[in-house]
């Protein structure tokens, strides 16, 4: 697993938003000595690796989604969100460039920012999602009218033609199964992935293909994957990976479908030239190709060819770590490509591969390399014959110890193989990682220059390690905090849920009373939350008071309306109380619909702590089974019901003892008459002490002793006269 010792150099820092760069849109391209970089903002940077200076900054009207380079014409193609594809000639930059000062390490001075206006827009199309280039054709993928459209444009010579490009052909198709509800939110984070697979022997200059993420596939894989027609036409194939996980292909030379005359092809989902290769069931983040078989080294001709020969394995990587490798099987029986699924640790932010047998992928915490060269790994030479040239059954990722990289690119600068990995971290740092195996390096005597170089390397290594440590430490702290909070929550929940019958350790008492607020008499509900448990209610808990206004008898149709008031609890230590008051209505104010049911509950949102502790949205579902008690229905958090009581007209009734009209009653002394009645009736046998006329059966239960307790029935009758008086004065107002 450990594969330590790669040299990492920081090249430059680029500005990044507060939360760090998000994966998907940033892009790093490398051609010769120049690095072309977009960090998901509206800027595209050109960085000279040799001179370590920032050569140019281009500013586009909107967020940059995708960048491709056409090295042959020295042109950059940039997809701008919601506007279209722009073309920037790199030869012009020297003319435009005002001299920047030598230090390009930090953000260059704003004078060197070239604003790009809409004249440079060669394909104005708001529906574009991504594009790729193959020599002088531009292939775009857009989404319109519930369909995906692959369109083919030919780039024209601007000197001779009036238009910068001309659309040749297009094909529309739908990835039918995920147009629905829940997928959209997730899918919208991701852009589709597009790349070109050339047939063997048709690729022109290899680097053009390589730059735009395209590759050449060897036979027989090409024919097996894409069919004999595409192979005999020598047609490059366009591979599209969609956010819903589908991987489709369509031949570049047959980008047309029969118009859906009878609607048959619509029903089938795919127009005939479009073929579904696989369904990953998670957003596709990368499509690439590897060369897993090494030619026999003893054959010098093959050795010569090795650089140019195609790849023999297609890999597709999904966001949550599913990786699919497709390779031609050498078995004699079935002539189908072998498709093998691997599960890497997700979420995968980006990946890169460059002609060798290794694929590099980045998660939040690390860059890892997986090697699909199975033969070299086979320990038992006898097995090679049986299992020769198939894909390895499991992958063992090797760590590169570089964290939170959001864009990766393999540099082809050195003459052989994968040599250098360019990475853009979430903090906006551009790094290069030397991939030459440390074993190969021969120990040499240190000369002073080399010692200086070595020290530089070590320092940069220390910088890298410290960044990694700080990242990991942050992650660990976050997880610890989350665990502590969870522990608290579980304790409280257990205490509340375990003794259902007895007295609950956390109680909430609801009382309704009149009070005087701002010179108005207001009927309020006060809830007293008392924590008699041994745990502290920490921040994150919320007291929810829900009021159900039950529908009136004469208005059957109106549904019960519920209002929820939430009060965040900062901290409630054991033994302490917290009171919250809800005004329900003023005397003159709105009509109250009684009876009123008040239900109190404690709520703890799990989303917050779990989100901070992990990136995966699924974790909550995995963590808690569906039938856990106390879990709120939407699984957002834990909900613990405390108490429920009904408030009726009796509690609302205010009996005016003051007979002098105009004089405000002393509200403070006024207590709930019913409470008073019940209290009194327990100790006194004389019911007449209350103002209301009443009957009590049986009288004085206390007198009969505790062992005999017949069901006590109380009925309270309010004299209509009294009520009338009260209501009259109520209606007249004070």
Partner 1 sequence: MDSSWGLSPSPCWVRQGRAGWSLASLTVSLNSELNFIASRQAGRSSGPGRAAQQAARRCRLAFDSLLRKIQGLPAALPSLSLELTVLYNSLLFAVSESDGLVEGEAERINHGLIRVLEACGVSGQDLSTEELWQKVLQDVTTEELCAPLHRLGALQGAVWLAANCLGSVTGLFRLLSDTKDPLPSAHGGENELLALLKAWSVPVEGDTSPLVVQSTKDLKEILWTSAAFLQGLQGLEAGNLPTALSLLQAATSGFCSKRVLAQIYTSIGCCTQQMGKPQTALQHLKRALQVDFQCLSALSQAALVYRQLGETDAELEALALLYKALETPAQETVSIDPCFLIRTELLVHTPALASLFSRSHPSEVKYLLAQRCLQAGRVAEAVEHYLDLLALLQEGPQHQVPLHGRSALPRIPEVFLEAASALEQLGRHQDAIAVCEEIISRTDDLIPETLRIELDSSAGGEAPGRAGSPSPGIPPQQRESLRCIVWRAAAYLHQGWAWTRLGESKEAITRFTRCLNVLLRVQLVSAASIHSSEEMAEALPEAKVLQKIRLLALLGRGSQFQELGRDKEALMNFQHSLQVCPGDPAATSHLLRTLWKLNRRQEAAALWQKLHADAAPADGQQEAPGRCVRCLVAAAITRPRHELQSCQVEALPIVPGVMSKAGEPPTRRISC
- Does residue 126 belong to the site contacting partner 1 (CB under 8 A)? no
Nearest-approach distance from CB 161 to partner 1, in angstroms:
11
- Does residue 271 belong to the site contacting partner 1 (CB under 8 A)? yes
Nearest-approach distance from CB 333 to partner 1, in angstroms:
6
The token duo for 133 is 């280039």
Nearer to partner 1, 198 or 246 (CB): 198
Nearer to partner 1, 220 or 595 (CB): 220
The token duo for 165 is 């490009």
Nearest-approach distance from CB 261 to partner 1, in angstroms:
4
- Does residue 254 belong to the site contacting partner 1 (CB under 8 A)? yes
Nearer to partner 1, 257 or 401 (CB): 257
CB count within 10 Å of CB 219 equals: 14
- Does residue 255 belong to the site contacting partner 1 (CB under 8 A)? yes
Nearest-approach distance from CB 122 to partner 1, in angstroms:
12
Q: Which of residues 74-103 bind partner 1 (CB under 8 A)?
A: none
Nearest-approach distance from CB 150 to partner 1, in angstroms:
12
Q: What is the DSSP string of 425-445?
A: ETTSEEEEEE-S-TTTSPP-P
Nearer to partner 1, 5 or 220 (CB): 220
- Does residue 259 belong to the site contacting partner 1 (CB under 8 A)? yes
- Does residue 265 belong to the site contacting partner 1 (CB under 8 A)? yes
Nearest to 288 by CA among 172, 210, 192: 210
Q: Which of residues 372-411 bind partner 1 (CB under 8 A)?
A: none
Give the span between the Cα atoms of 734 and 730, in whole angstroms. Answer: 7
Q: Which of residues 542-561 bind partner 1 (CB under 8 A)?
A: none
DSSP state, residue 278? E
Stretch that binds partner 1, among 206-214, 233-241, 416-424, 566-574 (CB under 8 A): 233-241
- Does residue 228 belong to the site contacting partner 1 (CB under 8 A)? yes
Give the span between the Cα atoms of 317 and 280, in whole angstroms. Answer: 8
- Does residue 256 belong to the site contacting partner 1 (CB under 8 A)? yes
Binding mask 169-208 for partner 1 (x = CB under 8 A): x---------------------------------------
Nearest-approach distance from CB 225 to partner 1, in angstroms:
11
Contacts of 528 (CB under 8 A, 6+ apart): 508, 509, 511, 577, 578, 579
Contacts of 479 (CB under 8 A, 6+ apart): 613
Nearest-approach distance from CB 256 to partner 1, in angstroms:
6
Nearest to 216 by CA among 106, 335, 149, 135: 135
- Does residue 261 belong to the site contacting partner 1 (CB under 8 A)? yes
495, containing H or E segment:
helix 448-498
Peptide bond into 347 cis (omega under 30): yes
Nearest to 408 by CA among 467, 358, 339: 358
Nearest-approach distance from CB 118 to partner 1, in angstroms:
11
Encode 644-657 in three state secondary structure. EEEECHHHHCCCCC
Nearer to partner 1, 274 or 584 (CB): 274
State the distance between the two ends of the chain, measured CA to CA, in whole angstroms.
83
- Does residue 229 belong to the site contacting partner 1 (CB under 8 A)? yes
DSSP state, residue 321? S
CB count within 10 Å of CB 680 equals: 13
Q: 434 and 6 in contact (C-beta within 8 Å)?
A: yes
Binding mask 141-160 for partner 1 (x = CB under 8 A): -----------x-x------
- Scan for tokens 């199309």, then name that residue: 125
Binding mask 321-340 for partner 1 (x = CB under 8 A): -------x---xxxxx----
Footprint of partner 1 on this chain (CB under 8 A)?
A: 134, 137, 152, 154, 163, 168-169, 219-220, 223-224, 227-229, 231-236, 251-259, 261-262, 265, 268, 271-273, 328, 332-336
């Amino acid at each position: 697993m450990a594969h330590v010792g790669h040299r990492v150099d920081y090249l430059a820092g680029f500005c990044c938003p507060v939360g760090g760069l998000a994966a998907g849109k940033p892009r790093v391209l490398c051609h010769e000595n120049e690095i072309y970089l977009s960090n998901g903002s509206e800027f595209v940077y050109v960085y000279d690796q040799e001179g370590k200076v920032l050569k140019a900054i281009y500013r586009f009207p909107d967020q940059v989604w995708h960048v491709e380079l056409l090295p042959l014409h020295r042109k950059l193609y940039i997809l701008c969100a919601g506007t279209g594809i722009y073309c920037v000639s790199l030869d012009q930059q020297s003319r435009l460039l005002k001299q920047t000062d030598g230090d390009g390490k930090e953000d260059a001075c704003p004078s060197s920012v070239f604003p790009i206006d809409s004249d440079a827009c060669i394909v104005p199309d708001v529906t574009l999602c991504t594009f790729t280039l193959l020599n002088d054709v531009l292939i775009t993928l857009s989404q319109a009218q519930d369909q995906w459209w692959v369109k083919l444009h030919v780039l024209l010579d601007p000197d001779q033609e009036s238009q910068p490009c001309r659309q040749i052909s297009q094909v529309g198709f739908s990835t039918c199964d995920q147009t629905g509800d829940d997928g959209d939110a997730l899918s919208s984070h991701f852009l589709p992935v597009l790349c070109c697979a050339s047939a063997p022997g048709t690729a022109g200059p290899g680097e053009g293909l390589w730059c735009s993420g395209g590759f050449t596939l060897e036979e027989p894989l090409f024919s097996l994957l894409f069919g004999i027609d595409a192979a005999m036409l020598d047609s490059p194939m366009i591979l599209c990976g969609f956010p819903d996980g589908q991987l489709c292909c369509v031949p570049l030379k047959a980008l047309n479908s029969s118009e859906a005359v009878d609607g048959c092809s619509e029903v089938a989902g795919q127009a005939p030239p479009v073929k579904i290769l696989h369904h990953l069931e998670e957003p596709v983040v990368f499509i690439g190709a590897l060369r897993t078989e090494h030619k026999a080294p003893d054959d010098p001709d093959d050795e010569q060819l090795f650089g140019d020969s195609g790849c023999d394995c297609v890999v597709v990587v999904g966001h949550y770590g599913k990786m699919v490798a497709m390779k031609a099987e050498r078995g004699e029986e079935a002539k189908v490509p072998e498709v093998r699924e691997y599960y890497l640790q997700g979420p995968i932010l980006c990946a890169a591969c460059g002609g060798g047998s290794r694929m590099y992928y980045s998660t939040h915490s690390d860059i890892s390399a997986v090697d699909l060269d199975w033969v070299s790994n086979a320990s038992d030479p006898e097995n090679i014959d049986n299992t020769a040239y198939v894909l390895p059954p499991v992958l063992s990722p090797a760590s590169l110890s570089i964290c939170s990289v959001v864009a990766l690119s393999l540099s082809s600068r050195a003459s052989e193989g994968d040599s250098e990995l360019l990475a853009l971290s979430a903090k906006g740092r551009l790094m290069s990682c030397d991939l030459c195996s440390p074993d190969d390096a021969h120990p040499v005597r240190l000369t002073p220059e080399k010692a200086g170089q070595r020290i530089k390397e070590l320092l940069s290594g220390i910088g890298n390690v410290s960044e990694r440590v700080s990242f990991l430490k942050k992650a660990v702290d976050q997880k610890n905090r989350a665990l502590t909070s969870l522990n608290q929550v579980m304790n409280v929940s257990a205490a509340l849920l375990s003794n259902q019958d007895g007295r609950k350790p956390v109680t909430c008492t609801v009382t309704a009373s009149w009070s005087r607020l701002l010179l108005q008499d207001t009927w309020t509900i006060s809830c007293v939350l008392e924590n008699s448990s041994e745990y502290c209610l920490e921040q994150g808990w919320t007291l929810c008071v829900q009021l159900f206004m039950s529908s009136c008898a004469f208005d059957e149709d109106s549904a019960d309306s519920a209002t929820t008031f939430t009060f965040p609890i900062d901290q409630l230590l054991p033994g302490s109380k917290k009171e919250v008051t809800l005004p329900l209505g003023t005397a003159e104010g709105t009509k109250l619909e009684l009876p009123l049911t008040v239900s109190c509950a404690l709520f703890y949102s799990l989303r917050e702590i779990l989100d901070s502790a992990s990136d995966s949205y699924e974790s909550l579902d995995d963590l808690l089974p569906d039938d856990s008690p106390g879990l709120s229905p939407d699984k957002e958090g834990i909900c613990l019901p405390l108490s429920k009581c009904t408030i009726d007209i009796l509690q609302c009734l205010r009996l005016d003892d003051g007979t002098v009209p105009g004089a405000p009653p002393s509200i403070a002394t006024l207590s709930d008459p019913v409470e008073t009645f019940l209290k009194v009736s327990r100790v006194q046998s004389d019911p007449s002490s209350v103002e209301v006329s009443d009957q009590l059966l049986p009288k004085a239960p206390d007198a009969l002793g505790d062992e005999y307790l017949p069901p006590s029935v109380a009925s309270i009758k309010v004299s209509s006269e009294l009520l009338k008086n009260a209501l009259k004065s109520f209606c007249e107002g004070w």
